[in-house]
Amino acid sequence: MGGAQLERPSGARPGVCVRRSFRAHAGDQPRRPPGPIPVPGTMKQESAASNTPAASQSPTPSAQFPRNDGDPQALWIFGYGSLVWRPDFAYSDSRVGFVRGYSRRFWQGDTFHRGSDKMPGRVVTLLEDHEGCTWGVAYQVQGEQVSEALKYLNVREAVLGGYDTKEVTFYPQDAPDQPLKALAYVATPQNPGYLGPAPEEAIATQILACRGFSGHNLEYLLRLADFMQLCGPQAQDEHLAAIVDAVGTMLPCFCPTEQALALV
């Protein structure tokens, strides 16, 4: 795979260290973005097949999606949430990098993947922010991969998640002077699952209480924090760091250490 390789920095980035008291023995080690997956669905997917409602008409490859100028059959897809560690669709290449003009926020409600109708979880979306910068992974899909990836993501992100598609400019970490047009899934305030802003402590409390078909909401938070550490000190996300710190302070109050480890 031609994507940039991630290495853990020598020192943990201030503000995004996951507290050792509930993280060290969880058995969930930081990962690089995974390699190509031959067949979508071979891993535990964000959209559990047995619990997936009928999908709406999946988008078809067309001019509405950004394409690679060198290959009109190729498409880049930018992930900044669970897609950074579990894309679950076949792809040809992946690159770590960032988009400018957006900040990542835990402002989208989730009643399927990381929560339920009675207790919605909190997952991320992008907020337009002139000074913002959001790190993630861009995946290149080619040929038949394009329609398969879009069909799968239409269910996972749009039908089950409430996200819309948007074109963004992606800057690869290893070649920021060679930006790429990419497709991103963004939850806007107009979708029914949108929760909007809340104090980081309140978001942390909600995350600790919620679980969905894809796992505990805490796992989602910690995997995202691990990814940001692997990106190095240049990758900053104060919102994410504040929620991780709040969780570390609250977790012993919610359950004993042994039960806390079982959450992740």
Q: CB within 8 A of 206, min separation 6: which ones?
A: 120, 121, 122, 198, 217
**pLDDT exceeds 60 at position 237:** yes
Question: For tokens 């959209």, what's the residue?
Answer: 47
φ, ψ of residue 99 to 5 degrees: the values are: -120, 145
- Per DSSP bridges, beta strands 164-172 and 93-110 are antiparallel
Comparing CA positions, the residue from 112, 147, 108, 114 lying closest to residue 126 is 108
The pLDDT value recorded for residue 49 is 35
Residue 264 or 244, more confident: 244
> Percent helix, strand, coil in the chain (nearest 5)?
30, 25, 45
Q: Model-level pTM?
A: 0.74
**CA 210/CA 200 separation, integer angstroms:** 16
**pLDDT exceeds 60 at position 92:** yes
- Round the average pLDDT of the chain to a whole number and report it: 79
The region, left, alpha or beta by phi > 0 then psi within -120 to 50, assigned to residue 100 is beta
pLDDT band at 134 (very low <50, low <70, confident <90, very high): very high
The pLDDT value recorded for residue 258 is 52
Contact 195, 109 (CB under 8 A): yes
- Encode pLDDT of 191-215 as tens digits: 999 999 999 999 999 999 999 999 9
Question: For tokens 């939850």, what's the residue?
Answer: 187
Quick one: DSSP state of residue 82? G
**pLDDT exceeds 60 at position 33:** no
Comparing CA positions, the residue from 236, 228, 239 lying closest to residue 199 is 239
- Encode pLDDT of 148-158 as tens digits: 999 999 999 99
Contact 229, 8 (CB under 8 A): yes
Ordered by where they begin, the domains of the chain are 5-262 (3.10.490.10)
**pLDDT exceeds 50 at position 117:** yes
Active site residues: 157
Q: CB within 8 A of 129, min separation 6: which ones?
A: 101, 102, 103
**CA 152/CA 241 separation, integer angstroms:** 30
Structure token pair of residue 76: 């880049």
- Encode pLDDT of 46-73 as tens digits: 333 334 444 344 443 333 556 555 565 7
